Amino acid sequence: MKTIIFALVLPLCLIGCDNSKSLADLCQEHEDICSEFTQDSWCKAERINVAFARLDLKEKAQDVHKFHLLVAYEDYIKCMSLASQIEHRKLKEKKTYRTNNLLKAKAALAELSDETATSEHPHLLFYHWTRYTDTVALEKFLKMEGSSMLENTTAQYHLATHYVKRDIKKTLALLFHALELYEPGTVLDPEIFQTLTTIFTNKEKYEQAYIWLKIYQEVETDRKEREIAEQSLNLYKEQYGLNGDFLDKVADSTLDKIYDGKFTAPKF
């Protein structure tokens, strides 16, 4: 089975998850942030992520927080684009609320994108390359390779996505280094493990592919994606005769090391 199980997609940010404020505190102290969108049961998690990203930017006003907010808006827009198409028989106004929320999010994203177009922050340089094919931004980003500016998990993953079609060995080194640089207490991007799964599947190293797929399943928060991963894990076991129980333990141990900040890159 040499086909790619997961498509490589653009990276999401790794946002610190240790917010000192609760959502209730945020809304009480920053009503303008909470009232940006009409509250709705759909896309609640994405709407909350936007609110906390806006709070971080308001309190810290750093370019890295602008990057986090850009990606939070993108996630909300992706979710709301689907939700806004749903018709309600009894509550027609819900479709209007969702359409308005979607338009507000798109406008906010466009404004912030324009605002960050000349930023020199590596995350934003990569953002403008991947979203708008800004070749100047890409050149500036690649010139930072090897510098302390890129010695963080997000930047290493961004580099990996650039090299994945050019140099697989270098891509693996970058992905593993991204995991070595992981800071305990922050959110792990599941796409790192998707990419590792894809690479090892294509290399026909199915035990390694299984391990990274299992870790992906543990880290991923979307229920449907977790179910798809479970189906793929069962397929690996059936088609390649893998010892799932043993590999599950290896995956759990590896993830524990990552979370503890003690992961070291394996030989490959």
Per-residue pLDDT of 76-127, as tens digits, reads 999 999 877 765 555 556 668 888 999 999 999 999 999 999 999 999 999 9
Please answer whether residues 187 and 153 qualify as being in contact, where contact means their C-beta atoms are separated by less than 8 angstroms. Answer: no
Residue 7: pLDDT band (50, 70, 90) is very low
Average pLDDT over residues 44-56: 93
pLDDT at 13 over 50: no
Token representation of residue 214: 């299992």
What is the Cα–Cα distance from 236 to 216, expressed in whole angstroms?
15
* Residue range(s) occupied by CATH 1.25.40 in the chain: 144-259
Residues paired with residue 16 on neighbouring β-strands, in sequence order: 186
Q: How many residues does the chain have?
A: 268
**Phi, psi at 155, each rounded to 5°:** -65, -40
Average pLDDT, the chain: 89
From the list 68, 247, 266, the residue with the least C-alpha distance to 177 is 266
pLDDT at 5 over 60: no
pLDDT at 9 over 70: no
What is the Cα–Cα distance from 129 to 136, expressed in whole angstroms?
8
Lowest mean pLDDT among 91-105, 125-139, 144-158: 91-105
Lowest mean pLDDT among 12-26, 66-80, 87-101: 12-26
Residue 264: pLDDT band (50, 70, 90) is very high
Compute the 3-state secondary structure of the chain and give helix, strand, coil in percent, each to the nearest 5.
65, 0, 30
As its CATH architecture, domain 144-259 has Alpha Horseshoe (1.25)
